[in-house]
Structure 1
């Protein structure tokens, strides 16, 4: 293992900057309070702009819209009478909670954890870095659970085959953390971001809906590219730098307590899940199917509009199949109990949504959203800062913002009402803006000291290197962040210049 001097461990390169970022970030309020404060800020700004008679011409209707003050009789009436509707009608809420009923069930009965463990352990030694990154990326179907489950598993697997365990830890964490937004499947993240994007896009076009599928093709390509990039970073940079492992011996976590029925449960889950996928696929292929849209369309169809319920049913089927086989589900009450546990885990998100919904609603009702979008777009046109340089600038801005706000949903809830309408005015589709946001947010997750799981990974790191500190952690993960971000920008540019849809019916330009 690389020798680290006492001087280097006490004062890692860049420690002053990182300490400053941590100090500033720690002074930010809790996300719930942050959005309450942002809503209050919108109230004050709307009052000032209204006082000076600010207005904007709506680009879609040509109607002149004055900035409406929330600190007025009409404003107070709106805030009081719309509060509950803002919350219950917030698009991401139903989408995320619905899809988490199924994914949560599969997680609670142990299916996702078992499948991840078996996939990593069975991988060939030469492919381990690539498999570790791939499993990390795919693990985001289980949301944040993947960040906790996968890295220590990949570290143990590397150790067992004679490779450096820290390299395994880094590869798994890079996939689960920096590759969080990519997946071959539609995950809760897709539903969450698409819902917020819909709310933001409707500031300009009330009829616009952003589907959870709008970045699907982009995500599929991203999975394979990032898997290769992450594996190469592990093999060519991270593991050579670590050298030969000479740390303490590690007690291997054998699966002696593994339920013998688990393997059969996984097989049954695959069988019943496969049958369901085939049935849905056949139903979509049939030209007269009710899942087809007008004139037999698939892109604009009940199949696409109902993708979240279809995904929910899929996870319920595989979760129940596994749970019944291993004996964790004996009756219908067990199913509802596991689903209830999954929703309990979402309690913090539900509370946060209440504040986010008010902020976005106030921003929209006051017409500040349209004003910022139109005037911002005109300003960018005037200084000729448009096109790809603008998109890359936005990606860098969001990546930097990650050092202050690590919650992806919270950050998008702040950015979307501003940048989605603004970029729409410049001709970019919400799907394109959302993709640009995702790659910036995801790639920088693992190098910000404010990332909530950094402490957990640092604890795992100390298991193999007792001298490891934050500088060790940052230097270990930084190559992945930079490589992922650059690779993702290239992928986005390829989609942009070739005109390949980012998802079903989702072009980069309006």
Structure 2
């Protein structure tokens, strides 16, 4: 078994450097405050210098507007509330979390994840762990807490190495975070930020939560197969036979908590209620004259697609209530809003962050700095004849590197989208396509960045089974997942594009 020794490798020294550099970064809220201040200063200097550019959309000359001016000061004060309340991702995410949060608070998410892993045949346990971890991002951070330790206990009970179970669970939850078979809060959050950035170029531009859906559905089986192969053919052979003498002496006696018959009935009833709801939606979508169809029977531009978020909200409320009533977690109608309120409390940090991020993005747009940088960057790439898939792959790699320093996917995208979405739109790329490219990099590097707040927790789980385990152990185990997932995801991304397949309903690479 390859564990840490006294001498650090070059890679471990690099990770130490990343951790030190990342720890020096301010809290994301303050980071956006500092960036907003920087936009105020830079726009003023550039604006006073009379810098302007030609808008490639209409040929008009556009000047950079200084925020340190009478007009700029008035904008800062008068727009503050609208910047926050009108920020597209805010409403989308909060509405989604009302439903998903309710399902999590009543215990449906935990029961589902646990039952999938425990009921899987022995030969399919690894696939179940990784697949459940990927789909578990519906429960957001809860999946990080539930899946890895549960996987370790299951692996140990089967005579397999528990650290391999932790690795498989962490890979599914972390490296596969952005993939799923249904629309999640991540889709709503990122699409909202992308829409804000895209509308600086085209006011009618809109990135919906379903715009990456097809690609994300196809990603789930790919990641499950590759992740299981890595776990069984690379990670477990490298770890070797597990020696329980290095455990903390108590963890090996832990018993996997069986799901009670009542919880199974709750999950069954939730499944029935969800199926009935989906049938009703299908009745309104599948027929050519369905109520949720668009003009002339269209699906892409239809009430079904444009209202996908409230439809998903109702789905989660229905299955959560069915589960909660069956398990007696919900005893009265007042319990439902109480659980929803609890889920909103968990969103307090996100709401606070969005206030600062919304100001930064709004200032960036109003000053025309975002358009200036995008046009300049697009002109440079065009002059250098650097376009097509290579430039998008380069963007993926850049996003992966930045994710080593900024763990929050929404915070990083709020930083990158205002620059790169307009830049690529001027090169005729669909903003949803660039959003997808970002998601691949952001997801796969989650498990190796020292700034992941769940890394210490995962390390604590590992130490319970082997006190010799350290950060070097964790990162050396998780690095193969990052490298292989990212490489194959990029290959899949390229092949998908060459075949001309849509990444979502009616969404292709070009505008």
Q: Where on the TM-score scale, by shorter chain, does this alignment land: which range?
A: over 0.9
Summarize the Cα distance change of 1:5–1:430 in structure 2 as closer, same or farther, 3 Å threshold. Answer: closer
Number of the residue aligned with 2:348: 347
Describe the superposition over 1:267-313 as per-residue Cα deviations: whole angstroms up to 9, x where unpaired. Answer: 00000000000110111112223311111100001100000000000
Describe the superposition over 1:410-434 as per-residue Cα deviations: whole angstroms up to 9, x where unpaired. Answer: 0000000100110111111111101
- Cα distance in 1 for partners of 2:265, 2:128 equals 23
Shift of the alpha carbon at 1:491?
A: 1.1
Unaligned 5+ runs, structure 1: none
Mapping 1:52-451, distance limit 5 Å: 52-247=49-244, 248=247, 250-255=252-257, 258-451=259-452
- Cα distance in 1 for partners of 2:362, 2:220 equals 35
- Cα distance in 2 for partners of 1:309, 1:282 equals 17
The alignment partner of 1:148 has SS state of helix
Unaligned 5+ runs, structure 2: none
- Cα distance in 2 for partners of 1:209, 1:251 equals 53
Number of the residue aligned with 2:505: 504
The alignment partner of 1:65 has SS state of strand
The alignment partner of 1:420 has SS state of helix
Q: TM-score with structure 1 length normalisation?
A: 0.97
Q: Which of the residues 16, 20, 33 maps onto 1:19?
A: 16
Assess if the C-alpha contact under 8 Å between 2:133 and 2:169 holds in 1.
yes
Assess if the C-alpha contact under 8 Å between 1:259 and 1:326 holds in 2.
no
Assess if the C-alpha contact under 8 Å between 1:130 and 1:231 holds in 2.
yes
Describe the superposition over 1:310-360 as per-residue Cα deviations: whole angstroms up to 9, x where unpaired. Answer: 000000000000000011111121000000000000000000000010011
Assess if the C-alpha contact under 8 Å between 1:137 and 1:179 holds in 2.
yes
The alignment yields a C-alpha RMSD, in angstroms, of 1.2
- Cα distance in 2 for partners of 1:106, 1:406 equals 26
Shift of the alpha carbon at 1:6?
A: 4.1
Assess if the C-alpha contact under 8 Å between 1:12 and 1:472 holds in 2.
no
- Cα distance in 2 for partners of 1:139, 1:15 equals 30
Shift of the alpha carbon at 1:255?
A: 2.1
Q: Which of the residues 10, 25, 29 maps onto 1:28?
A: 25
The alignment partner of 2:291 has SS state of coil
Shift of the alpha carbon at 1:409?
A: 0.2
Q: TM-score with structure 2 length normalisation?
A: 0.97
- Cα distance in 1 for partners of 2:163, 2:256 equals 19
- Cα distance in 2 for partners of 1:151, 1:12 equals 26
Assess if the C-alpha contact under 8 Å between 2:152 and 2:164 holds in 1.
yes
Question: Does 1:461 pair with 2:462?
Answer: yes
Assess if the C-alpha contact under 8 Å between 1:58 and 1:204 holds in 2.
no
Number of the residue aligned with 1:480: 481
Assess if the C-alpha contact under 8 Å between 1:395 and 1:436 holds in 2.
yes
Assess if the C-alpha contact under 8 Å between 1:13 and 1:471 holds in 2.
no
Shift of the alpha carbon at 1:60?
A: 2.3
The alignment partner of 1:443 has SS state of helix
Shift of the alpha carbon at 1:63?
A: 2.3
The alignment partner of 1:34 has SS state of helix
Assess if the C-alpha contact under 8 Å between 2:101 and 2:340 holds in 1.
yes
Assess if the C-alpha contact under 8 Å between 2:150 and 2:256 holds in 1.
no
Q: Which moved more, 1:349-358 or 1:284-293?
A: 284-293
The alignment partner of 2:152 has SS state of helix
Assess if the C-alpha contact under 8 Å between 1:166 and 1:464 holds in 2.
yes
Assess if the C-alpha contact under 8 Å between 2:3 and 2:472 holds in 1.
no
Aligned residues between the structures: 506
Shift of the alpha carbon at 1:4?
A: 4.0
- Cα distance in 1 for partners of 2:139, 2:334 equals 22
- Cα distance in 2 for partners of 1:70, 1:267 equals 58
- Cα distance in 1 for partners of 2:168, 2:174 equals 10
Describe the superposition over 1:208-230 as per-residue Cα deviations: whole angstroms up to 9, x where unpaired. Answer: 11010010000011111111110
- Cα distance in 1 for partners of 2:366, 2:29 equals 21
